[in-house]
Chains A and B, each alone.
Chain A
Amino acid sequence: MRYVQFMKHPLFSRFARISVIAGLALGGVGLLLFTLGISPVDIGVTLARGSILSLQKFGHVLTIWIPLLLCSCGLLFTFRAGLWNIGIEGQVVFGAIAATLLLREENLGLPAAATLILAHILSFIGGGLWAAFAGFLKNRGGVNEIFGGLGLNFVAQGLILWLILGPWKRAGVASMSGTEMFARELWLSTPPGWRLAPAALVIACIAFAATAVLLGATRFGLQIRATGINPTAARLFGIHPGRTGLLAMAIGGGLAGLAGGLQVSCVYHRLLPSISSGYGYLALLVVMLAHYRLRPVPAICLFFACLAAGSIQLPIVLKLDSSLAGVIQGACVVSALLVHGLQKRQRGEL
């Protein structure tokens, strides 16, 4: 293990570590592309053009960044509590369903703003309850949250299909393309020519700030961490591990649900079968790449969002499949896990 000796050096700072991770990932993917006869430079240029090189495209990046950030914040709560919230996809879906429940009603008799606010609160509650159900199954039924969450993901997916093809189907014909569009005044308002709602951006930033405060600067955050580190010892500090874990699940699920709510209210304006766009799973990668720390999360979300937005251009410009973005994202996470693993090994913890 001589070749990782230098990582023990204090000079091997956070910056150097990030460089190594990025170098490993991008170098690996670049080499792969090169051997396939594709120019990595072309890919880079296309991705940049499709994401950050125009204001309008950057707006699109932010519409991806918002749900990704919300889901990642949610996962920070559950990871800190020592829980693997694989059920996050289902929680996004449930939040979207909860918001749609309100937004598709035409004769609610409420002002549009109030309906929108209520819909987002409802999406938080919906996602939270769905996550709490997984937590309840764990506490009371001894069902591991990974398997419970995975099962509930399928249930949520079944439910959304049933709603779209059944009770909430479009007038006349049921279609996989989703429900009827909501009334125009129930869309989160966007500047002309943009798909980004400033309100959603504000909500995401507030959610991130709240996560930072709750996890980093409150007793509650410390209790969540204690539960994750050692539930047996946590009980000696008067912490109820089951209850704390359930609360972490509920908050995490709530944030995921909010992401789902924003997907219907400001991106699609209707309920779609693929409303989560896989952002829940992608957020799992974000948090792992951030090594379960809070601070790197917004930047990593932005990077991943750029890749996702930019990759839409790949089939158009280079006749390549857009799943290349997933390859790059995956390579980053594997590299990060590798570097952290090697460092841990170096310290003698493995």
Chain B
Amino acid sequence: MIELANISKNFGKVQALQGVSLSAEAGSIHGIVGENGAGKSTLMKILTGFTSRSGGEILCRGKKISLDRPSDAMRFGIGMLYQEPLDFPQLSVLENFMAGEAAFAPGQARADLARLAAAFGFVFHPDNRVETLTVGERQQLELLRLIHGGARLLILDEPTTGISERQQEQLFAALRRLKADGAAILLVSHKLEEIDSLCDTVTVLRHGRVAAAMRCPFDRQALLQAMFDSLPERLSPPQTATGKEPVVEFDRVVVTVGRAGLHEATITVRTGEVVGLAGMDGSGQAVFLKIAGGFLPPESGQIRRFGRTLPNGCGCSRDVAFLPADRLAEGLLPGMTLREHHILAARGHIFLSAATGLAGSRRAIDDFNIKGHPETTAEELSGGNQQRLLLSLIPDEVRLILMENPTRGLDVQSADWTWQQLHRRKAEDGAIIFASPDLEEIMAQATRVVVFYDGRIILDTPTAATDYHEISRAITGEAGTTGPSDEVGRSGLLPD
């Protein structure tokens, strides 16, 4: 349906894409895989008219077309499902569904939405505001909106990130159905299982070029070899013994921010622990991390770090590091160089010269394998390198590392490497608490699993004593038989 021929793109001196060709056929799912910075996002941006290409041609049903702006892409039936839903949270489900339509016909749209939702097995209340939906539901709504708007080529960017198992099944069923109806689908993903189970063809990008193009069934080994320069080494997670000393203690902490807030969270994390926080998006994990980091004061209850009660429950300190999910928007300083980041993260250096921090920055770049130099600015780095930069900025004296989605957007190799660093960094007297939508990651890396449901801790257990089944049941709100304490059980029975 859509054919890309010899597409190239350069940003200044950086060649992001070079002679990339691929075609998306009607009635098939085409996978696009590649390491971070391989050029996937740039390619998608060109296809959706957000970025102009520097060379090459785009053909739609054999005819040359130009995609200069997103409305052009829409006209040719190209629709994209972004990793972060591109919707209007303050508007209702119905209003979002109607966004971008030429005609204003709420009655018709309401009927169309009901019909489409029923066809795909999605459940929507048209008058609810989109901000009350989960990421998965917002994605479903976007998908319906695109189909309703006449999209015949759907591009999905990491669609299973941050959505539940059940939503994933629904999504896959929907994609298979769309394929049967003759739609062309481009699936950008890091997860090879998804590629295996969904795609008919796959294109591997590496360093902005096509490294391989394959048809189903895929040779996993060949795929990995095409993606990476060398195959990553797997490592088994260290199972350190839990120490005695409490690192962070929550005592009936209550806040009402976020979708679910946090209801009387009581938990003690001790030295040597790696705690994985699981749960549906917005069930309280993010709020929990912000409170633990001292960025958000609790409305009631107490929080102690390293045995000290925080004044007003708030306060940053140099022995705690927080790595946010949105690295560039929340964790780094765009426009500042790596060297300047390292100066700010280190102690000392009251007066600065052009040489200040240069050695330290060079060392960090080497140690953490950051693809950049001391005078590169943060926004010039790719997602994986931004995460490496964040890791390299953690001061030595840090004893508590808090993270949201630590390996989000990272390929297998970078993710493994990241965890290797983290386990190394967590000295005997420290702890790591991380939230991840990826259960596999939690099972592989955490020594203890804490599941949040609707702002409550519903399951708190050592990783060794639990399994996928129990955790996924807890995530959907079914209290396990072994996990929750009496306290949680009781509060579940009381009317609110």
Contact = CB atoms under 8 A, between A and B. Distances in A.
Interface of A: 213, 217-223, 225-226, 229-230, 232-240, 348
A197 B84 CA distance: 61
Contact of A219 (B321, B334, B352): B352
Contact of B336 (A213, A217, A226, A240): A226
A222 B335 contact: no
Interface stretch (B162-170, B297-305, B337-345, B404-412): B337-345
B333 interface: yes
A237 to B, nearest CB: 5
A235 B333 contact: no
Interface stretch (B216-224, B280-288, B324-332, B472-480): B324-332
Contacts, number: 61
Of A223, A225, A237, A348, which is in contact with the most chain B CB atoms at under 10 Å from its CB?
A237
A223 B344 contact: yes
A222 B343 contact: yes
B351 to A, nearest CB: 6
A309 B139 CA distance: 63
B322 A236 contact: yes
A226 B333 contact: yes
B290 to A, nearest CB: 11
Contacts of B350: 218-220
A230 B343 contact: no
Given A217-B352, A222-B340, A230 B329 contact: yes
A68 to B, nearest CB: 27
Nearest to A347: B12
A229 B330 contact: no
B286 to A, nearest CB: 13
B316 A235 contact: yes
Contacts of B295: 235
24 contacts: A217-B353, A218-B351, A218-B352, A219-B351, A220-B350, A222-B340, A222-B344, A222-B352, A223-B344, A225-B333, A226-B344, A229-B334, A230-B329, A230-B334, A232-B330, A233-B331, A234-B333, A235-B316, A236-B316, A236-B321, A236-B322, A237-B344, A238-B316, A348-B11
B51 interface: yes
B155 to A, nearest CB: 20
A221 B340 CA distance: 11
Contacts of B316: 235-236, 238, 240
Interface of B: 11, 51, 295, 316, 318, 321-322, 324, 329-336, 340, 343-345, 349-353, 393
A238 B318 contact: yes
Contact of A236 (B51, B331, B343, B351): B331
Cβ-closest 7 pairs across A and B: A237-B344, A229-B333, A232-B330, A217-B352, A226-B333, A230-B333, A233-B331
Given A226-B336, A232-B330, A236-B322, A219 B343 contact: yes
B336 A229 contact: yes
Contact of A233 (B11, B51, B318, B332): B332
A226 B334 CA distance: 9
Given A229-B334, A230-B333, A232-B330, 17 more contacts: A217-B352, A219-B350, A219-B352, A221-B352, A222-B340, A222-B343, A226-B344, A229-B335, A232-B329, A233-B330, A233-B331, A234-B333, A236-B316, A236-B324, A236-B331, A237-B344, A239-B344
Nearest to A229: B333
A253 B345 CA distance: 29
A215 B350 CA distance: 12
Contact of A230 (B322, B332, B345): B332
Contacts of B332: 230, 233
Nearest to A217: B352
Contacts of B333: 225-226, 229-230, 233-234
B376 to A, nearest CB: 16
Contacts of B331: 233, 236
A221 B393 CA distance: 19
A143 to B, nearest CB: 22
Nearest to B321: A236
A292 to B, nearest CB: 11
B273 to A, nearest CB: 22
Contacts of A235: 295, 316
Contacts of A236: 316, 321-322, 324, 330-331
A228 to B, nearest CB: 9
B335 to A, nearest CB: 6
Contacts of A240: 316
A225 B51 contact: no
A146 B349 CA distance: 33
A240 B340 CA distance: 17
B383 to A, nearest CB: 16
A348 B52 CA distance: 10
B334 to A, nearest CB: 6
Contacts of A222: 336, 340, 343-344, 352
Contacts of B336: 222, 225-226, 229
Nearest to A218: B351
A238 to B, nearest CB: 6
A239 B340 CA distance: 14
A237 B389 CA distance: 13
A11 to B, nearest CB: 15
A217 B351 contact: yes
Nearest to A237: B344
Nearest to B330: A232
Contacts of B353: 217
A323 to B, nearest CB: 37
A179 B308 CA distance: 59
Contacts of B343: 219, 222
Of B11, B321, B332, B344, which is in contact with the most chain A CB atoms at under 10 Å from its CB?
B344
Contacts of B330: 230, 232-233, 236
B319 to A, nearest CB: 11
Nearest to A230: B333
B481 to A, nearest CB: 40
Contacts of A237: 344-345, 393
A132 to B, nearest CB: 23
Nearest to A239: B344
Contact of B51 (A218, A220, A348): A348
A233 B390 CA distance: 11
B15 to A, nearest CB: 16
Contacts of A218: 350-352
A240 B331 CA distance: 14
A226 B333 CA distance: 6
Contacts of A238: 316, 318
A226 B330 CA distance: 12
A239 B333 CA distance: 12
Contacts of A223: 344
